[in-house]
Amino acid sequence: MTEEDMARAIWQAGVDAVGGYAATAAALEDMPRPDRILAVGKAAASMARAALDHFGPVPCLVVTKDGHGADLPGTAQLIEASHPVPDARSLAGGRALRQAVEAMDAGSHLLLLVSGGASSLAEDLVEGKTLDDLAALNRAMLAEGLDITAMNARRRQISRIKGGGLLAAFKGARADVLAISDVPGDDLMVIGSGIGARPANPAFRGAAKIIASNAIARAAAAARARELGLAVLGEEEALHDDLFVLAGQIGPRLCALPAGVLVLGGEPTVVLPPDPGRGGRNQGLALALAREIAGQENLCVVVGGTDGTDGPTEAAGGIVTGQTWGPGAAEALAAADSGSWLERHGALLTTGPTGTNVMDLLVAVRA
């Protein structure tokens, strides 16, 4: 296997270990049949499929990203919406979730399946706020380069269903929440801006459980590296900063890397220029790292979003080596047009929707 083959295989092993279907199925073994299933987020469809395969026909509503709702049974209601900037369908999805919860009877059992992306995909705004307000807020936060915790705190301020608001409308007896975490610390109040969080002093019983996380993905990637006979030189959650700051920190480390594998996780941020090109934070980080490692031999870096999409693009991220950097790359990086440049040079990581979302994963292999 080449360095690229190994890096791809290790990255994919990390993603496979946190697949929404398998993680949800494993968590349902001792759960009684619910009266209603609600699933929201980028991994909502795979999580809902696992629940429906386990329990059989149950009324089910899925709110997910465009193109992420494949293979659902015809009995499930599907609403696809926009990410990362919400649209009118996001409001329809949020309203449908709230109405479904409000309609449940006393004594009923709700299963709520939550994954990252729910902040944009489903919203029910407080009185006086409009879709234009919501879209403007999201565009501003993306341009400012805020981290996910800060972004979701702002979103909760204008939402009826975030921060425990959705389950506050539940009048049944039991509500169980299974969540795939895409945030540092795996805090339910931050995942999806708290769409699966419990209200203060809930009148219902039930449990909330994190079933997949970046830590699980990193551990699985490291395990696959060892299976390939490679030394694991680091396995860390270390990608929580501006992508250019991270490139400056990680680049020298990669250049000095001996033979082996480095596995890093987290979620970089990026401050966008006024008229950004095509790309996302992972494509930007990949190209910035290509500059740092230019000229290095026998080194390959794969960096991508574990959900299979990076920002408003269809690519997950990038695959770069010491030979990737070249003419025009600096201009593309400055214009936030890394995706276009990487595509022209055969360096995009494209996986399609993965059925999960646990932030981002970087794998560097030195042979």
Enumerate residues 6+ apart whose C-beta is below 8 A from 130. Answer: none
CATH architecture of 19-212: 3-Layer(aba) Sandwich (3.40)
Distance from C-alpha of 244 to C-alpha of 224, rounded to nearest angstrom: 29
Element (H, E) at 64: strand 60-65
Burial label for 321, CB within 10 Å (0-12, 13-18, 19+), is: buried
Indicate the domain borders of the chain.
3-14+215-366, 19-212
The pLDDT value recorded for residue 137 is 87
Q: From first to last of the 367 residues of the chain, give the pLDDT tens digit.
A: 999 999 999 999 999 999 999 999 999 999 999 999 999 999 999 999 999 999 999 999 999 999 999 889 999 999 999 998 899 999 999 999 999 999 999 999 999 999 999 999 999 999 999 999 988 887 888 788 888 888 888 888 899 999 999 999 999 999 999 999 999 999 999 999 999 999 999 999 999 999 999 999 999 999 999 999 999 999 999 999 999 999 999 999 999 999 999 999 999 999 999 999 999 999 999 999 999 999 999 999 999 999 999 989 999 999 999 999 999 999 999 999 999 999 999 999 999 999 999 999 999 999 9
The pLDDT value recorded for residue 325 is 98
The pLDDT value recorded for residue 150 is 86
Asked whether the beta carbons of 94 and 117 are under 8 A apart, the reply is: no
Residue closest to 129 by CA, chosen among 162, 97, 170:
162
The pLDDT value recorded for residue 141 is 86
List C-alpha distances in Å: 277 to 212, 286, 338.
32, 16, 8
The CATH T-level fold of domain 3-14+215-366 is: glycerate kinase, domain 1 (3.40.1480)
pTM, full prediction: 0.90
The pLDDT value recorded for residue 216 is 97
Burial label for 201, CB within 10 Å (0-12, 13-18, 19+), is: exposed
